[in-house]
Structure 1
Amino acid sequence: MADMFKSHFVSILGASREPLLHINWSNIITPQHDLLRDMAAPFSFSEVDKVIKSMKSYKSPGPDGITMEFYKSFWGKIGPLVVKIPNDLMLQHADFQKINSAFITLIPKKEGANATNDFRPISLENSLVKIFSKLLANRLAEQMKSLIDNKQGAFT
């Protein structure tokens, strides 16, 4: 049965491969854009604090076993260390591969699911990856205002 599920989801999700599209960013981001500078600025304590407070406390944890509730409960003690981690990742002083792992689990789409098509996979990521991703997404959302015209907002 495990082989059947593996075969099914490998056929859907595929294996890692080279991207089909290579983007020439120099055509999109010109030197006068502050995008790259703003994206690479150090994360502030308040920025990380806001992200952690915005995340749901009791979502299923990833391989690290840590929920957002842990970060919220001990923020007064661990806050400065937690803020240091995404900043170290941005400066490439920390190895992202060490925290970038996830559990993939199957969730039934309907009651009584028994065929491979009756399940959908979800990834349970480490909490620090969720925090880092949300920090980057928030910054990118701010930058989108200058990259996308107001008239083209339907699919951003």
Structure 2
Amino acid sequence: MDALSAPGPDGFSGSFFQSCWEIVVRNVILTVQNFFHSGMVALGLNSNFIVLLPKMRDSITIDQFRPIVLGNFLFKVSSKILADKLAQIAARIVYLQQFGFIRDRHVEDCIALASDCVNVLHKKCYGVMWL
């Protein structure tokens, strides 16, 4: 975790966890293990602050702000572990046509496939299924 990251609703930043790791490591591990064993997120652990940062000086309208979410460190750890585990099997359980958020699949491939499809639209095909 970035030591300079903004603290979440719990008030703890990355620098806190880095500097106090020997003290908090046991509680961090137990909290994460509890999440995976119970399948439930501890009360308040998924609390977040949504903050609007101005993109320019004197921002007034909503499109002139960039939203960021300040989340709890322990929830971020659990989410990261879960995402890494799911990434290992995602390619096997998601359709080949799905490109977003799958490792080694790129949106450029999807664009190239769509372009190829458009290029053959003018050709007549009977009884042929394109895969």
Q: What TM-score results when the alignment is normalised by the length of structure 2?
A: 0.63
Q: Extract unaligned runs of 5+ from structure 2.
A: 103-131
Residue 135 of structure 1, aligned match among 56, 81, 95: 81
Q: Decide whether the 8 Å contact of 1:104 with 1:122 is kept in 2.
A: yes
Letter in 2 for 1:56: D
Larger-Rg structure = 2
Q: Which runs of 4+ in 1 moved over 6 A?
A: 149-152
Residue number in structure 2 paired with 1:6: none
What's the CA shift for 1:154?
6.3
Q: Is the deviation greater in 79-88 or in 66-75?
A: 66-75
For the residue of structure 2 that corresponds to 1:96, the secondary structure is: coil
Q: Extract unaligned runs of 5+ from structure 1.
A: 1-54
Compute the RMSD of aligned alpha carbons: 2.6
What's the CA shift for 1:86?
1.0
What is the alpha-carbon distance in structure 1 between the residues aligned to residue 40 and residue 91 of structure 2? Answer: 30
Letter in 1 for 2:83: A
Residue 116 of structure 1, aligned match among 56, 62, 75: 62
Percent identity reads: 32
For the residue of structure 2 that corresponds to 1:84, the secondary structure is: helix
Residue 97 of structure 1, aligned match among 24, 29, 43: 43
Number of residue pairs matched by the alignment: 102
Residue 15 of structure 2, aligned match among 69, 76, 82: 69
* Aligned pairs (5 A) from 1:1-156: 55-92=1-38, 95-147=41-93, 155-156=101-102
Q: Decide whether the 8 Å contact of 1:89 with 1:96 is kept in 2.
A: yes
Higher relative contact order (CA 8 A, sep 6+): 1
